[in-house]
Amino acid sequence: MTTTLTIQLLNESVSLPDLTIGGAIDIAHIPSEFNEKRLSALIGHLSGDAGLAGRLTAQERYYILLNHQATTSHKYNADDAGANDEYMFETIQSDVPNEVQVGELTINHLLGAHVVVLEGICENVADWLIGQMACQLSGNLASIIGGEDVVWEPLPATMTDSEINAAIQERFKFINGLSATSKFNDLVDAYSNGTNQLAHFVKLGSDNKGLTVIKSGGDGDMEPSRFHTLDHLSGAAARLATCLA
């Protein structure tokens, strides 16, 4: 039975049909350690828009994945607030800003185009934090850390992977050179303030392997969980995808 779910993202709605076996095989050819690249391929197959995954925020991408996995596992109930409330929170789209200003610094959304590049160059959680900052910060960093003006431009999804990579590498060098006891902490505080205001759909974190979805727990328990693009497959399709990985 074909199942199709339509979900509302920040600025557009997306229909999520069942993934075809051809689509699954195409995704399986991408090495499993590149989950963000696999996720981009999944969104491209489901939407029919190859560029959509790069334009979406990282949170929107995982919101699509969680909804699609729940639907294809036949656990989705249209009467529920969400396909998996354990990992998602209710979002009023109009309340989510496009960007946040902290002084002369701007914190932008983390985009799919960013995370696909980041997973190819980040080796640990420190790389992921600094890499996300490199992608999301623009404006004058000196308004937070002091000193001479350091003005960064936003990194739009229209940039190529190589252009995004070059910008990240340059910004990596700058952030890595900041004082660990003052300037770096000040910049992280401003970044965290901004990203908290940009939160939507799912709460993302990162570990040494990449982005994680933070599960809600009792008494402050927050368990990081990783969702892989083809985890919902079963039977012959799952065995075939595993062989191709």
For residue range 117-140, list pLDDT tens digits in order.
999 999 999 999 999 999 999 999
| Structure tokens given for 171 | 């910004």
Residue 153 has pLDDT above 70, yes or no: yes
Percent of the chain with pLDDT over 90: 68
Dist. CA 142–CA 151, nearest whole Å: 8
Dist. CA 208–CA 164, nearest whole Å: 21
CB 198 within 8 A of CB 191: no
Q: C-alpha angle 92/98/101, rounded to 5°?
A: 115
pTM of the complete model = 0.91
* pLDDT, position 89: 87
| Structure tokens given for 141 | 């960093």
Percent of the chain with pLDDT over 70: 88
For residue range 185-206, list pLDDT tens digits in order.
999 999 999 999 999 999 999 9
Residue 77 has pLDDT above 70, yes or no: no
- As beta bridge partners, residue 15 has 6
Characterize the bridge pairing of strands 223-225 and 137-140. unpaired
For residue range 213-235, list pLDDT tens digits in order.
987 654 555 677 888 888 877 77
CB 34 within 8 A of CB 120: yes
